[in-house]
Amino acid sequence: MASIEEVVPASIIGTSLARVDGPLKVSGGAMYSSDHNFPGMLYAVPVCSTIAKGTITSLDSSAAEAMPGVQAVYHRKNIGQLFRAAPPVGFSGLIDERRPPFEDDVIRYYGQYVAVVVAQTFEQAMAASAAVKVSYAGEKPDVSTTLSSDEKPKVDTTRGDADGAFASAAVKVDETYVTPVETHNPIELHASVAVWDGKGFTLYETSQAVGNHREVMAQMLGVPLENVRVISRFLGSGFGGKLWPWPHCLLAAAASRNLNRPVKLVVSRKMMFQNVGHRPLTQQRIRLGATADGMLTSLQHDSLNHTSILDDYGEGCGEATGYLYSTANLRVTSGLVRRNVGNPTAMRGPGAVPGLYALESAMDELAIKLKMDPVELRLKNEPKLDESLGIPFSSRHLKECLTVGAEKFGWSQRKAGVGAMQRDGLTLGWGVGVCSWIAARIGCEATVELKADGTARVACGTQDIGTGTYTILAQIVAEKAGIPIEKVEVVLGDTKLPAGPISGGSWVTSSVIPAVADATQKAMQTVLMAAVQGKDARFAGKKPEDLVFSGGRVQVKGGSAETSVAYAEVLRAANLGGVSGTGKSEGTFGVPPKVSQHSFGAQFVEVTWQPATARLRVNRVVTVIDAGRVLNTRAGRNQIEGAVMMGVGMAMLEHTTYDQRNGAPINSNLADYVVATHADTPQIDVTFLDYPDLSLNEYGARGIGEIGLAGIAAAITGAVYHATGVRVRELPVRIEDLLGGTARA
């Protein structure tokens, strides 16, 4: 007779599972922020400045106020008091634009909100917003894309003598790389539905971090924290643009309070380019020094990025530079340059994504100078430990990413030399780049309830931005309790729930595992107590420690499986509706690390080039990712595929262009701001090495939302060089670049 320990169902960790929220999404049942409607709800439409620098000299809302359905037009003089958010502490109090809307009459970027119209219908509010007459004293804005800074750059990391070693290096690369402004374009627009109840707010927000959102809104609105509830059940993605609150959130809330009515404000696609952040323009100088046989002797990475007039957003381009390669001499610096733009914000893989475009491009240029295979160059400079921190890596398999990727791609067939490879009348270009991303945990709490109807419920105040978080939580509970995943209900995205991590940094999975596992264990333990308490208990007379909970059933330790009892039955016998457990885990930030925790990967790219028609296509990508244990291979592969597509967009298409005369983002719509679509998507082969990183959690998962985007652009531009002989050092690659000598605007 098999004991219950031997009939535990096969693990669902590391398998390919469909999303538990999939049916709700495809059937239209998932409630996104702007899907919330309430009786008496009004619609708000902001009025945006038509200059990027200057002051408001007059604002006349009388015509707008007289229009049908208009309830109010708010501006600096009548919106009421709004405060600045206090300086952040950890992951709390974060907002990229700290100035509350309408704080003064100064305009610092194009599209800045100057008023907001509230009307009975959206159409009425739109029409009236166009009728608000605003006069300005405008000055010439600075949206120049050439960055220079008089300020001394900040030294982020340094070791050895980078200048001296560079001066005496046998082989050198000294190049500057530029990445343009990229705008987050999730399909779901930012939205706020604010409901004031006379005392506090319920805010339906497009938020990747409901807890932080609540703190910031409470401060800026001047209400006690406990009187604010933030809900963000489903997100049509965010890419980082929805991490922190933006000014429109304050407009909706203030209007709701002033009018004592629910107010809905949906940011337009055009406003998405003006008012809710972007990846900043970066300009990065990389200096590499090497011996004639390809050992790095010096690495310098000096980056600048633009930021807004009032707020400091540092992209952190050198994020991965300090630990990626072995070199005794290194210096990473960064600086900010102010422009008349809205404040930048984190965009998928902030820092590492533009940073690795520059560093990995320079490594490719170095390999060419050395007449060395670019894969070989990287293998040769693999460090034994994190040389920046002087501590070992928790789990680093970058060499294997490179060798496995080279094998899958067929890299050994590579012929070096521009235009050396042809197929079917096309010139082939092959390129490679490596990627890395920080692994970490954020503090997390979760509650798990095991119910008498045989289902379970897990609640956590984190969010699912479309990455699969609902499914991951269900998997953890199902795995721990040994119950079918379809029996697990997951509740997320509400500040009433136990505090969960921000949906950022690719940190959710690693953060929720210990808390959810702990909560499940505690609930299971309570089931065992219920199993022995009272004379009707199914295991009356036993002690909890005599029992074991496994496979959703309770059994005497070592006893036969046939006498086991379903936990639901144990609860029903005790007349319990359910029992719950609360789990908690600590974050890794602020704790001096003993090991360097990062994910790694290698990207191999094939482009095809048809010189006669100047047709360039990204044809094939092989990506090998070392991100610890992957809990759900389907959701995981999906993350990497999406990131690779976004990398194709970054390399070939995406750039926000500002009108130098008035500072307006010109291509502020999805027809002119081109993102990669299915038709642009290469064949993508994703491999996970799947080495558990147990320094983070018991399953060894690190998170995979961002890493897949890093390294792709450099691999593409390396492939473009291989095919065409043109090294593109300013993204995106334009056909003009490849025609030889056409000046860049």
Please give the positions annotated as active site.
706
d(CA 709, CA 134): 42
Judge contact between 475 and 9, C-beta under 8 A.
Answer: no
Q: Quick one: 207 or 394, whose CB is closer to ligand MOS? A: 207
Separation CA 593–CA 441 (nearest Å): 12
Nearer CB in complex with ligand MOS: 216/243:
243
Q: Which is nearer to ligand MOS, 245 or 350 (CB)?
A: 350
**Residue found under tokens 């703190």:** 215
Query: Binders of ligand MOS: how many residues, by CB under 6 A?
Result: 9
Helices (H), 596-698: 633-652
Characterize the bridge pairing of strands 263-266 and 228-231: unpaired
Nearer to ligand MOS, 178 or 707 (CB): 707
Which of 294, 344, 350, 461 binds ligand MOS (CB under 6 A)? It is 350
Q: Which is nearer to ligand MOS, 211 or 262 (CB)?
A: 211
Other C-beta atoms within 10 Å of 606: how many? 25
Residues 633-652 that bind ligand MOS (CB under 6 A): none
- Stretches 57-65, 68-76, 345-353, 514-522: which one binds ligand MOS (CB under 6 A)? 345-353
β-bridge partners, 42: 263
SS3 content of the chain, % helix, strand, coil (to 5): 30, 25, 45
**Stretch of 15-23, 214-222, 341-349, 726-734 contacting ligand MOS, by CB under 6 A:** 341-349
> 307 near 313, Cβ under 8 Å?
yes
Nearer to ligand MOS, 187 or 743 (CB): 187
Provide, rounded to whole angstroms, the least separation between the CB of residue 493 and ligand MOS: 15
Choose between 348 and 441: whose C-beta lies nearer to ligand MOS. Answer: 348
Among the listed residues 129, 208, 361, 697, the single contact to ligand MOS using CB under 6 A: 208
Query: Contact 722/422 with Cβ under 8 angstroms?
Result: no
Q: Is 348 in the site for ligand MOS (CB under 6 A)?
A: yes
Q: Which is nearer to ligand MOS, 206 or 208 (CB)?
A: 208
Nearest approach, Cβ of residue 504 and ligand MOS (Å): 3
Instruction: Please report how close the Cβ of residue 75 comes to ligand MOS at its closest, in angstroms.
Output: 32
**Cβ 350 to ligand MOS shortest distance, Å:** 5
Interactions with ligand MOS, residue window 460-519 (CB under 6 A): 504-505
Strands 421-423 and 578-585 turn out to be: unpaired
Sign of CA dihedral 96, 101, 103, 107: positive
Q: Does 346 bind ligand MOS (CB under 6 A)?
A: yes
Q: Which of 710, 697, 89, 240 is nearest to 440 (CA)?
A: 697
User: At its nearest, how many Å lie between ligand MOS and the CB of residue 26?
Assistant: 24
Residue 422 near residue 428, CB atoms below 8 Å: yes
Q: Kindly state the smallest distance separating residue 239's Cβ from ligand MOS, in Å.
A: 6
Phi, psi for residue 351 in degrees, rounded to 5: 85, -70
Cβ neighbours of residue 127 closer than 8 Å, sequence gap 6 or more: 67
Q: Could you tell me the smallest distance in angstroms from the CB atom of residue 141 to ligand MOS?
A: 27
Does 184 sit near ligand MOS (CB under 6 A)? no
For ligand MOS, the binding residue among 296, 347, 456, 530 (CB under 6 A) is 347
- CB closest to ligand MOS, residue no: 240
Contact between 641 and 26 under an 8 Å Cβ cutoff? The reply is no
Binding positions for ligand MOS, 228-267, rule CB under 6 A: 240, 243
Told to check if 339 binds ligand MOS by CB under 6 A, we report no
Work out how close the CB of 435 gets to ligand MOS at its nearest, in angstroms, rounded to a whole number. Answer: 15
Beta strands in 130-262 (DSSP E): 133-138, 154-159, 171-179, 191-196, 201-205, 228-231
Element (H, E) at 568: helix 567-573
Q: How many helices (H) and strands (E) does the chain have?
A: 17, 27
Q: What are phi and psi of 278, to 5 degrees?
A: -165, 165
Using CB under 6 A as the criterion, which residues of the chain lie in contact with ligand MOS when the complex forms? 208, 240, 243, 346-348, 350, 504-505
